[in-house]
Structure formats: C-alpha cells, structure tokens
Chain A
Amino acid sequence: MFNYLLLPEYQRAFVAVLLSGILLPEMGVLMVLERFTFAGAGIAHVAFAGVTLFLLIGINPLLGGVLFALLSSVLMWHLLEHKGVNLDAGMGIIFAFFMALAVIFMSLSRNYSGEAISYLFGSVLTVSWIDVVLLLVVFLLVQVVLVAFHRDIFLLMLNRELAEASGVNAKGINLLFLILLAIVITACMKAMGALLVLGMAVMPAVSALKLKGSFVHVIVMSGIVGAFASLLGFITSLLINTPPAATIIIITFCLFAIVMRLYKD
C-alpha cells in the first residue's frame, strides 16, 4: 500500500483528492444554504460539455470546461438578478441546452469519448502536475475569498434585505459565488468526475450543518469531514482496487449516514 505513494501519479492523485475533498464541501455549505444544489450539478454538466468540445477541437479540455461553466454561471446570475428567474429554474433552462451540445460533441469525437468519460466519472490517477497546481491556486483563492467575505455571505444568507441595508453588495456576492463555483467544479472535475462532484460538495456540507456551530465553524468542519472522507475513500480504493472517485463518494455517503444517525435531534 505505502509503496504506491512513492509513485508520482499516486502522489499527484493524493494531493488532488485532498484538495478537492476540502474545496467541494466548503462550497457545498453555501450551496446547501442557498438551496442551490441542483444548479451546482448543472454547472458540472455544462463544464463537461465544454470539456468534450475542447477535446474535439484539440485544446486543453479544462479550459473548455471552465469557459462553459463560467458562461452558465454568468447567465444564471443574469437571469436571477435581472430577469427574476431563480437559480434552479435558470439552471433548468441552461442545463438542457449545454447537455445537448455535449451529446453532439461526443458523437462527433468518437476517438476521444474515452477521455471524455474520464471527466464524467473522474480519473484521479491521470491528474497531471499542472492540474494539481491549478487546484492549489483555486484552493488558495477560495480560502482568501471565504476569509474576506464570510461576513457578507453570512448576512446574505440570513436575509438579503438585511444584508443590503448593512451595505453588502448582494448582486456582487452572488456573482462572486457563482463564478467561484464554476471554477471550483471545473478544477475538481478531473479528479472527482462531473457526475460525482455534487455528492462530494453536498454530503460533507450537510453532515457539518448537522454538527451545528457557527457559520465559519461549519465551513471548516465540512472541509475536515470532506478531507477525511476523500482520503479514506482513496486509500480504500487502492486497497480493494476499485475506481477512486466512486469509492470516495461511497465512503462519504457512509460517513454521512453515520452522522445522520448520531445527530438526529
């Protein structure tokens, strides 16, 4: 088991799993509190559409992923803030369109659909050093934003009018959140897979919310739960030779189930 960790691809995988395991749950707390999980899943799928297109035209697929994800985030934000369409409905509109695109791109690029599938289900052992550095940059960015804006975010989640009366730029914070989410989801997609990122974001977040405490406390806890679950899942996958991302999600689910049993209130 431990000789695995001497191999560079396992070292990269280890770091990628750990960083995604913290990042996704941190964003997950905000997603759960803002009732935004469906839209989060949608962003992941839209990012996947971008990945397939860029695989087809032969440019770095993550670039396609982040461009598409950002596009859908900004569109959703526009629908929310200027057209009065809530985020879930907004995603319902954008989601189908981008997924249809992805299907068409995939059918055009038969040679690449294997690689496309790895973005769908995660392929942590093919993560490159560049992917890891990218993840690290995103990780640091998110920590800085959370530290700088946690009070604004807290007020916004408590009540929008209250936040705005306190001088919080609600539109700006919502845009920042959606942009961050697009970046985080794309950055974690290679390791965790477009279909599985949502689970990694939501389950530790809901567990941490059950453990109670203050807002900052819950965000930190969700990161800790996520880090623990993802590492445990990764190691398990090495031991029993199963796909890492899927194993991580199953372990995370088990932890989630345990927390739900222990904290029934």
Chain B
Amino acid sequence: MQPIVANDLTIGYGKKTIASGINFVLEKNDLIVIIGPNGAGKTTLIKTILGIIPPLSGYVEVLGCPAKHVCPHRKRIGYVPQIGRVPKDFPATLLDVVLSGLYPHKERFSKIGKEEKLLAMRAISEMGLSKKINEQFGKLSGGQQKRGLVARALIGHPDALFFDEPTSGVDVAAASDFRKKIIELKEKEGIPILIVTHDVNPYIPYLTKILVIGRGKVRVGGIELLRDIEFLKSVYGESIKVLEIEGKFYLLSGDFHDV
C-alpha cells in the first residue's frame, strides 16, 4: 500500500482555493521535498493530508484511508509542525512532550506506564537529547525543541513522517545535524518522509521527488524541475533566478526570504 495518494486534489480554506490539480504518490521508500514561496500553500497541503482541514475537491488517501473519513490511520503519521519556540514557562518537561506523542493512541482515562516511559527515553536518546530529558521544554534551544518534537513523532512508530520547515529558526550547525538525523531515519528505519523546506540542496542526494507549489500551481518531478526556469518563474514570480553550481541549486529572488 502506498502511504499517501493525492489525485487531482484542490486545497484551500472555505471558498478560497490555494492550489489545485495536485497529483502525487508518497511511496514507502520516498523522500519528497516540498518547496515554494511563502504563502504558497505548503503548510495547507500538509494540513489537508493530515485531515486537519478538508480538501476542497479531489481525492487524498492516507495509509489507505480517504481524507473525508475520520479514521485512526491518520494518527499513524508522525508530524513535526512549523512551530514557533514554545514559551519558557510552558509547563512540560521534554519527557512530557515526547510522551504526548502517545496520547492519540491512548484511551481517555488510561495511565502512562513504565514501558511507555522507556519508549520515550529511547526516542529521546535516538535524537541525542538524553541529558535534557527532565528539562523544561520551553528552556531548550530552538534546535533541541525541534529534535524533541521529532522524538515525539517517533514514539508512536509512525508509518510516515511529515516535517514542516524543520530547520527554520535553527542555527546553521544545528540545522545540519538535524538534517542528518532526518536522512538517517529515512535510510535506516525506512520511514517515508515529506519535508517542506526552503533549501533543497542538502537533500538532493537523498530525495526521490520534488514538489514545487506556488501561485496556485503544483508540479511533481525530479531535480529537472529546478532547471525549468519558465515554470519556476510562474511559481516564484518573474524575478526568480536559479544558479546551478556543482549540482546545487540556488534560487535568488526578492520575495524569497528566510530559510
């Protein structure tokens, strides 16, 4: 079974269409990178697949479950949202936040047991945060919080992982570490991955597809999409320029900010 199938999907809010004609499949061994300008609808697409908002039309299926249905399968996707820093006084330790990844799978009044705490500790050490396990989540650095959220996603043994701008707001070194972890998860654990990012380069050796979204248009393909300057102009605007240097692609434009 393919973890995700989108067929002529239209996404948006209420009467407002953000993008339409979205067709793609996330296979078991895929690492799909989603790029597009700010406000293009990358987060909207992820929210639609997760069932947080309904598709305006078309079909999307997650782990065999069509989007219009409420089914528990959806919880089998590990989701790392685009999240600002959690406030310093947020009342939770790293362990609490990671354990909350089990909430969707728990009965309302059931308790968290010892084995579940062990699972959490394993996920935390997998993300290299063992020393921080009992620290207040809000006091961790931006990068550590992100890794904590990945541990949270991993604890439920997800069948797919979604990352929404995982390295935005994280310093360069931490971001590079973090990407290594993501790629490791794909290579070692064989979890299919969907990543929204502004910098495709670090993923080029590993990605299987690129999804470009912007100004209502969506295309899915390989690296060659980044060489189609006419298409990129229609997505990013006329002022976009692409430099290809040693197999890396640099998109330069006025309305392209923050990585």
Contacts and interface: CB of A to CB of B under 8 A. Distances in A.
Interface of A: 29, 33, 147-148, 151-152, 154-155, 157-159, 161-162, 164-167, 209-210, 212-215, 217-218
B124 to A, nearest CB: 16
B104 interface: yes
A213 B104 contact: no
A212 B91 contact: yes
Contacts of A167: 72, 74-75, 104
A213 B138 CA distance: 12
Interface string B93-104: 100110010011
A148 B91 contact: no
A158 B86 contact: yes
A157 B90 contact: yes
Question: Does more than half of chain B's interface fall in helix, strand or loop, or is it mixed?
Answer: mixed
Interface string B126-144: 0000000000100000000
B93 A162 contact: no
A165 B70 CA distance: 11
A33 B91 contact: yes
Nearest to B53: A164
A154 B77 CA distance: 20
Contacts of B136: 212
B79 interface: yes
Contacts of B28: none
B104 A166 contact: yes
Contact of A161 (B81, B90, B96, B104): B81
B91 A213 contact: yes
B50 interface: yes
Contacts of A154: 92, 96, 100, 103
A217 B91 contact: yes
B120 to A, nearest CB: 13
B77 A33 contact: no
Contacts of A214: 91-93, 96
Contacts of B257: none
Contacts of B50: 161, 164-165
